[in-house]
Structure 1
Amino acid sequence: MSEIENLLREDLRGQSPYGAPQLDVPVQLNTNENAFAIPDEVAAVVAEFIGRELRGLNRYPDRDAVALRTDLAAYLGHGLTADHVWAANGSNEILQQLLQAFGGPGRTVLGFMPSYSMHPLLARGTGTAFVDAGREADYTLSPQYVREAIERHDPDLVFLVSPNNPTGTALEPDVIDAAYEAARGIVIVDEAYAEFARDPRSTALGRLAGRQRLVVTRTMSKAFAFAGARVGYLAADPELVEKLLLVRLPYHLSSITQAAARGALACAAQLQAEVDELKHQRDRIVKNLRAKGLPVADSDANFVLVGGLRDAAGVWHAILDQGVLIRDVGLPGRLRITAGTEDETTALLDAFDTALAQRPELFDRATEEQQEQQP
């Protein structure tokens, strides 16, 4: 063990940093990014907002990002105000701040894996014990399952993800209600992909009223094609939002970031057209892969989880050989595919056709009846 390794916190020794494998290939459908570049007219609006801030960069930004929070509240609706909203550098920082404020050494956060892989990493980074309650056999969550897990582990925080990553499935409202009723601590509903849901009413935003311990986290990375800007936010009771100021770094959100986000929010209606197209391509992937005999879960996100793979790693390589990069998330017999543009989706489906024809031994295709039983 090196001298530096020996000085590192014991719980971090031997760990590897988070990172999605990235390769230089023509079609990249592995990291759930928005496949569309920001349209020129939206970029012009964002540039205008940023331009207003440039000459004032000698001054610190608004440390509480009030104007941005006001715009975010207006976007979310549901009677929310700026006092209900908090923003940070990506939803990961939002989740980290929640763990810093309400977790920490001696406290636990309960998750239901497989789910967002950063949850246990963020917990470890804040000294919060992460407890994995797993999922039901079909990777779904029922109210009873969630309630029993919370009663069994008695966590200080609970992570729920809707739509879930990597399965793409949204939670039923009664699952969130069951979690809140059973928990004594903070219940966090991670809605990073909420704008892609088949039913917009599936959001937990409408359940915030009267529930002081409920938090809904969002990001601008996906629906707003703003992954490079790093803007995440949450909606919660104003008192909970106020407590996060105890752990936020001074001036944590730059003037440029705040301005860029406000410009994008001003163009939300225009960007929705690209969201609709990605939903169409997502559903196209589901329909076509099912027609090939591969079970695919209905998705409320901008990605799908495909099964029926006897050798998932082999299929991943066979698809990559044709210039298409998808994601092996470690689930036996399954791979995750991000929805892309029409051309990218065509390339993906063609790659599966070729792999099925040339390497049939890699697949274990299901009957229609078996497909209906998939999550």
Structure 2
Amino acid sequence: MTSASDFQLSDLPLRDDLVGLEPYGAPQIEVPVRLNVNESAFDVPDAVVESVVERIRSATKGANRYPDREFTRLRELLADYVGEGVAPEQIWAGNGSNEVLQHVLQAFGGPGRTLLSFSPTYSMYPLLAQGIAMDYVAAPRRDDFTVDAELVREAVAEHDPDIVFLCGPNNPTGTPLDPAAITAALESRAIVVVDEAYVEFATDRSRTAVSLLPEHPRLLVSRTMSKAFAFAGVRLGYLIAHPAVTDALRLVRLPYNLSALTQAAACAALEHSDIMLAQVDELRAQRDRLETGLRELGLAPHPSDSNFVLVGGIDDPQRVFEALLAEGVLVRNVGLPGTLRITAGTHDETSAVLAAMAKATGRVEPSQDA
């Protein structure tokens, strides 16, 4: 029998399908320029911090009681923010959009059912399916990373999925989602989830699946406050769907899944959404500057509607990743051949990453005047 001092993960009776896996996670390294996990480069504004602190102070006084399990005020504010005639009963929320997506899979997926998505895409999708022993199918995207109606229809016909995840703008490529692809998925029997985590950074912000909700009760639109709201540390994701869907998600959520403090902080931020979103245009400008600068270096950045750029044309991504890290710049190697993903940062961070990339690739540094 193994002694306690020698006990390891391999000694535990894990499910067979979990043996050999490693937990999800990106490197958390303290360097001057962190551009690897698509966080906002800007701190929460002081005016919002003060409001959050005041709301949390008030909520803490009543922390001896369980929070509002229906997060009523939060749903009202999220519905107002989304607009498009969305009602509070159409809103669902969780500790980050990953928890919201997990609720969806728990309610409509499970053993013997299939989740379909289009690869490369968000790496948490297969892990969420794995967690509930659900089959995951990754149909390939087009060579330019797009997903169109024909591709969706072919994949649905072949795999007959119970749930379809469409990520738009897509992570890790930044590719916008063709609305016709959503419509094609909705022709099937499947629950269709459109992941709009980066929608506020899109060139056309009106290009959202929310407008399709009135006619499609099996459509769910997932969003987050982590990116555009600069609220990654608070962990608040949400979903817009038919009220029957939110009723279904109540069946699988843990009781009181959103703490009173999380609700208070999120409500304060939503009440100051104009301030919270003030830096989105600057991040979009730096994303575009990053694309231009990388192209001037002779690299191949892919067009992006997100707050990051997937840059191709890199001969040895791991070597370049390490060279950038040695210069104090942390980016993300997402495992796509010849690429690295770089989050849009401040003006100074963009300058730093372009200078470091020029040095790492031995190319001429572009002008920093933009």
Report the TM-score range of the alignment, normalised by the length of the smaller protein: over 0.9
Query: Partner amino acid for 1:61?
Result: P
Give the 5 Å matches for 1:203-282.
203-282=208-287
Is residue 152 of structure 2 the alignment partner of residue 146 of structure 1?
yes
- Contact 1:188–1:215 (CA<8 Å) still a contact in 2? yes
Q: 2:143 aligns with which of 115, 132, 137?
A: 137
Aligned partner of 2:204 in structure 1 is: 199
Letter of the 1:134 counterpart: P
C-alpha spacing 1:64/1:4, structure 2 compared with 1 (3 Å): farther
Whether the 8 Å contact between 1:5 and 1:13 is mirrored in structure 2 is: no
What fraction of aligned residue pairs are identical, expressed as a percent?
55
Q: Cα distance, 1:359 vs. partner? A: 11
Supply the distance in 2 between the matched residues of 1:296 and 1:358 (Cα, whole angstroms): 15
Query: Of the candidates 307, 310, 317, which is equivalent to residue 312 of structure 2?
Result: 307
2:91 to 85, 97, 108: 85
- Distance in 2, matches of 1:190 and 1:95, equals 9
CA shift for structure 1 position 81? 0.8
User: Where do residues 1-375 of structure 1 align in structure 2 (5 Å cutoff)?
Assistant: 5=11, 7-181=13-187, 183-357=188-362
Distance 1:70 1:132 in 2: 36
Deviation (angstroms), 1:169 = 1.0
Quote the Cα distance in structure 2 between the aligned partners of 1:106 and 1:352.
Answer: 46
Whole-angstrom CA distance in 1 between matches of 2:333 and 2:364: 18
8 Å contact from structure 2 (residues 320, 361) kept in 1: no
CA displacement 1:21-64 (0-9 Å, x = unmatched): 22221111001111111011111111122122121111000011
- 1:160-216 per-residue CA deviation (whole Å, 9 max, x = no partner) reads 0000001001102111111111x2120000111111111001111111111010000
Counterpart residue type for residue 19 of structure 1: G
The Cα shift of 1:288 comes to 1.0
**Residues 247, 317 of structure 1: CA spacing in aligned structure 2 closer, same or farther, 3 A cutoff?**
same
- List gaps (5 residues or longer) in structure 1: 361-375
Q: Which runs of 5+ in 2 are unaligned?
A: 1-6, 366-370
Note if contact 1:34-1:340 (Cα within 8 Å) is conserved in structure 2.
yes
Output one character per residue of 1:279-306: Cα deviation in whole Å (capped at 9) or x when no partner: 1111110111112221111111100010
Measure how far apart 1:357 and its partner are.
2.7
Q: Do 2:40 and 2:228's aligned partners in 1 also have CA atoms closer than 8 Å?
A: yes
The residue matched to 2:57 in structure 1 has which SS? Answer: helix
8 A Cα contact 1:306 1:334, kept in partner: yes
- Structure 1 CA distance for aligned equivalents of residues 107 and 11 of structure 2: 28
Taking structure 2 as the reference length, what is the TM-score of the superposition?
A: 0.94
User: Closer, same or farther in 2 for the Cα pair 1:2/1:295, shift >3 Å?
Assistant: closer
C-alpha displacement of 1:147: 1.0
C-alpha separation in 2, matches of 1:308 and 1:12: 35
Aligned length: 359
Q: Is the 8 A contact 1:294 1:307 kept in 2?
A: yes
Q: Which shifted more, 237-246 or 20-29?
A: 20-29
Q: Distance in 1 between matches of 2:299 and 2:207?
A: 27
Amino acid at match of 1:95: L
Q: Residue 33 of structure 1: SS of its match in structure 2?
A: coil
